[in-house]
Each structure stands twice: as C-alpha cells, then as structure tokens.
Amino acid sequence: MKHYLPRVACFLMLTGVAFFSAPACGQPVARQPNQTEPAEPHWHLFLDNHAVTRSTGFQRILHRPQPRGVVLKAEKPWETFGVAPFYVGRRQDGSYECYYQTLWHEPGMRVASRIAYAVSDDAIVWKKPVLNLVEGPTQVGNQRRLPLGVSLGSGDANDVYLKTNNLVPCGHPRNLFLHGNVRDPEKRYALGLNYGIPQRIAFCKELPDFINDPQWEEKLVDSGGFIHSHYTTLEYWDDLHQEWVVMRQAPNHPPTRVSGRYASPDMKSWKLDNYLYPDADDSTDPRYFHECYGMMGVHLEGMVFGFAYWFIGDETHPTGNDKGLIGSDTSKGTMEVRIVTSRDGGKTWDRTVSREPWIPHGVLQNSYDRLVRLDCPPLRMGDEDWFYARVGDRDHASYLGYPRDQMVTFQGALYTQKHNRYVSLTAGNRPRILITEPLEVTGETLQLNVDASHGEVKVAVGTDRWMKHKQDAWPFEANLPHWMVEDRWGDTHLEKGFYFDDCDPVQVDSIECDVRFQEASFKSLLGKTVRLYISVQDADLYGFRFK
C-alpha cells in the first residue's frame, strides 16, 4: 500500500479521538476583499491560530529581529530632545527617504516638535538636506540636564528662528497600498496637509519631492477630513466596518495607560470606543506595573498587526501621584515592543504572542535602547523586513532625576528580520503534522515560508469527508474526525496524488518556497475547500499561501 504518512512518522492513533471534538463541517478561511487594484495574495501566518486546526507537538516560537544599532542620530540644533522615525520608503530615483519627528528643548524646558526629512542611498546612512521650508532653531546652548543642550534661535535679541534646516510643513505619510488595506491609486499615500491640531489629511499618488519640486504641495489632494494629532496619520481602512482607523494612546489615565482605536467613516467624526488593556495573564509582580503605552496599527497579510509599546512601570520609584485606583501614576519605567493581532479591524486583539517582547529594551540603565517604540511601518529590503524604531537612552520620565539627573535623548535604531518571520511553528527530530482549517484553493501554487535547511517538510492535501469507524470488537458506532490523516485500517481524507509520498521534500531555507507534487497540481483543486497536512521535521514553518 502506498504510504500516506512519512515513513518515520506515527499516524494519529484512533485512541486519541476522545480527546478532540470534530466540527460537523469546517468553514473555509476567507481572505479579506480588496477594494480595487489587485494585491499580492495574503500569507497565513502563525501569530494566531486562525488557520490552524491541530498543531500538537509543535512549539510556537517568537523570533526577534536583529538589532543593527542607531542609524538616525540626534545631532542638529532642532534635535536636542531627539528624533523618531515615522516613515521610510523609496524615492522615485531609487534612493530612500525618511520622515521623522524631531523634538527640541526650548529655554524654560518647553518642548517643540516638527516633522523633518532625510534621504539616503542605502537606508542606513542618512543625510539631512537644507530645504528652507520651515523656521527652526539654529544654535545650541548649554543646559546641565540636557545631554545635547537647549535649542536657541539665531542669537539676536528677538531669538529669531531661520529656515536653514530639513523641517517640512506637513505631517508624516503612510503608504496605504503596503500597510493600509487600500487599493485605490489615487489614495496610495496619506499624509498631513499642514502641521497642527487638528491636522488635515491629504492623499497623493506619489510623495512630495521636497528637493527637486517647488510645486510639490499642488499635487496633494485635501481629503476634507482631519486627524486628532500632529504626529500620526491614517493607519488603515477597515473594510469590515467601513471606517478609517488610527491606533494610539487613549486619553484619561491613570488608572492605566491604554492603546485606543480611533475610527471614522469620513475622517470628520471620530469615535474612540475600543482599547487594549493589560489583562489577567500579564505580570502580577507588585514592583512593576504593566501598561500598553500606545500602538502602531499596520494592515498586513489580511489582518491588523498591532506593534504595541509595552510600558513596564517601576513601582519602586513612586512619583507621589497615587490615584488609588488600579495603580499609581507610574512615570519611571522601560518600554519594549510586543505584537498583537486583530482580524476584526482592531476592535479586539489576539495576544497569543504578546506575552514576551518582540523587541526587548536594553538592560543597562543608560542603554541606547532603554526605551523602544515602533511608529514606522516595515521597509521591504530583498528577503528582509527593516524596522526603524524610536529608542531612548534612559528610562521614561528621566526628568525626575534618574539616572544622573539627565533627560532622555531619542534616536532612530534599525532592526532587521527575514520577511514575515515573526513566529514559527517548530518541530524537532520527531516529525509533527500541522493540520489547517478548511481553506479555499485560490492559486495554482502553494508556497511555504520555511527554514528546512537542516530537516525536511512535506505536504499532503485532504478533503473533509466522513470516515466511518470499523466497529471491530467495539460495541459502538463512530464517525472519525475530519482532521484525522489515516486510521488504523488505512482510510484517509487525503486526495489521490496529494499524499505525503507524492510531495517532493522541502529541504531549503526560503521565504517563498513552491511546493511540488510528482504528478498532481493544485490547478485541479482550484476553487475547492481543502485542508493542508504539513509534516515538519527539524524545521521552522512560518507561514503558507496559495499564489
């Protein structure tokens, strides 16, 4: 008899049936509809269990990106408090551009901020061109508590600011094609039309060329709407609820900082009614108070990624502002980035992989990454994703006098990771079989994001059908579950030509590996609802898709 399972694998034993409940008929995993222009088919990733029926024996591993250090430095007179990248993308000439928030301390310890612009040939070494568009500080004066000093004007009696800088008179953009669930070419980008609160929102096909195009502003189309902050913009379109969404810190805290979902169907009337709080499974250590300080929402692979800035308040340094509610108004603390996901437009969040940091903070008191938050969507670079984060070299609220009575300075740090390799389902030397939810075959090719360079992965394809238990000596009748690969009598859900032995072994490290069968093709299954049975041995499986 032809083998249905890998020769070294043990098939699912019938004695395990009592421990599982089999659905009468599973529903296909559907992709979210696009609006107009077609996009790349979505990947099914394993940040949650949306596409998974059975993963017994696998270990879910959160993969942290590699830190590459500071690449956007605070060094100008208008950057004495620091810099924070908000957008990095390609220019029309193939180079790269960065919109970043710049902050500076004015006399009297007032803080001012604007959006600034930088360019680069390699997205690592950044140049800050003089644009002569917005007035800003020109000199730096000494101030004991400020490592970079205090920002000053031109030095005359009126403390006049000049335009000899790289500041721009608009908010930062968002690429709605890549990260916003929008397919309309007229709305490829959204950005702030002017700088202030509220900030009007504009759309454009291409981002402004501040260096070469003096009429750049004429190409922006005012949306007629506005945003509630000067340092954020539209994040994504929620087609489930027909509204624009922005995720950021919600007001009115304590008892705890939270991330809030701001939504509007027309960008005029905004509503805040969904939040992400810490829950009962977060730390209960009385010395540390967990809070979701804020979040960047990005629409990727048919769902919303929430890159949450997770604040770990240090309760051993009270501020004297205890409200007597859930916890004190904690100021001192570290910040790290954790990933949460949503499949209903950001109204509710799955926290399967959020119990540990995706980008951890530095351990030392003066680590350059003592505070980490991510406001900049990923930049695709070959087979990698590049993430530009805001990092601070001291604890939050260092103005309270720790350590060394100096305040934090923010800079831009780079983190890199293989594309879509946030989380893997990993199997050891004993082969394990991942069984998916029923899903529609939407393409002629099945691709895996997989590292099987030290092991092997094979795929089989099955169709849900009733398999009646041969009673033998057992005095009852039973229908065997759909996710059973093969029973002890050799009955199976697998399709002819799509058994494990029909699959060419996958033994490579690839973010887009085509799965091939010796004689069969997914073309014959187009439009049908199937389950994938993926056998993994000594390998990491990150995701799959039909293309």
Q: Are 101 and 86 in contact (CB under 8 A)?
A: yes
Q: How far apart are CA 454 and CA 539, in angstroms?
A: 7
Question: What are the backbone dihedrals phi and psi of residue 449, each rounded to the nearest 5 degrees, phi first?
Answer: -100, 110
Q: Is 524 helix (H, G, I), strand (E, B) or coil?
A: helix
pLDDT in the model for residue 319: 65
pLDDT in the model for residue 16: 33
Instruction: Point out the least confidently predicted range of 73-77, 188-192, 257-261, 420-424.
Output: 257-261
pLDDT in the model for residue 320: 57
The answer, yes or no, to whether residue 485 has pLDDT greater than 50, is: yes
Q: How far apart are CA 173 and CA 186, in angstroms?
A: 14
Q: Is 196 helix (H, G, I), strand (E, B) or coil?
A: coil
Reduce the secondary structure of 408-470 to three states and give it as a string: CCEEEEEEEEECCCCEEEEECCCCEEEEECCEECCCCCEEEEEECCCCEEEEEEECCCCEECC
Q: Which of 147, 157, 97 is nearest to 127 (CA)?
A: 97
Instruction: Point out the least confidently predicted range of 154-158, 255-259, 459-463.
Output: 154-158
pLDDT in the model for residue 22: 32
pLDDT in the model for residue 401: 67
Q: Please, which residues bridge with residue 276 across strands? A: 259
Work out the average pLDDT over 432-439: 96
pTM for the model:
0.90
Q: Which of 361, 416, 448 is nearest to 71 (CA)?
A: 416
Q: Which of 325, 542, 331, 356 is nearest to 449 (CA)?
A: 542
Q: Are 87 and 414 in contact (CB under 8 A)?
A: no
Structure tokens at 32: 């979210």
Share of the chain above pLDDT 90, in %: 70
DSSP assignment of 115-182: EEEEEESSSSS-B------S-B--EEE--TT-TT-EEE-SSSTT---BS-S-EESS--EEEHHHHSS-
Per residue in 192-243, pLDDT (tens digit) is 998 888 899 999 999 999 999 999 999 999 999 999 887 789 999 999 999 9
Q: Which of 48, 40, 54, 26 is nearest to 445 (CA)?
A: 40
pLDDT in the model for residue 252: 67
Instruction: Point out the least confidently predicted range of 23-37, 47-61, 106-120, 440-454.
Output: 23-37
Q: Quickly state the pLDDT bin for 467 (edges 50, 70, 90).
A: confident
The answer, yes or no, to whether residue 113 has pLDDT greater than 60, is: yes
Using only C-alpha atoms, the chain has a radius of gyration, in whole angstroms, of: 27
The answer, yes or no, to whether residue 38 has pLDDT greater than 70, is: no
Work out the average pLDDT over 533-539: 98
Q: Which of 516, 347, 493, 371 is nearest to 433 (CA)?
A: 493
